[in-house]
Structure 1
């Protein structure tokens, strides 16, 4: 069984790669500033949801990642 920290690390890597692929191949916009605030956002979400567990962190992070992709796609 994997530790929660490993699960969170894998999810963070997959979400970041997914964002890069989405920006480059789907909406054709540069992804130059997103990593500058994406990682601190992940850390802050981890701090807020720390007691709730890894599943809550994964859910909140997935929601914010999708919301950010939608905002960049339409604005």
Structure 2
């Protein structure tokens, strides 16, 4: 399935928002229950929680602005 660029941008921004806030509702909205993480090979949103924990532990929680997404997509 090919997504429209605006949909891709919206998904990317939600992804960053989850990492920034830890809002569990975003996981339900943005990721399918059988989401496949291609790096770990694991299915499910649990891997997103693990990755967020790594980022949080390293004090690297990004803001949307510092991720450059707004500039890259002209927002």
TM surpasses 0.5: no
* TM-score calculated relative to the size of structure 2: 0.31
TM-score normalised by length of structure 1: 0.31
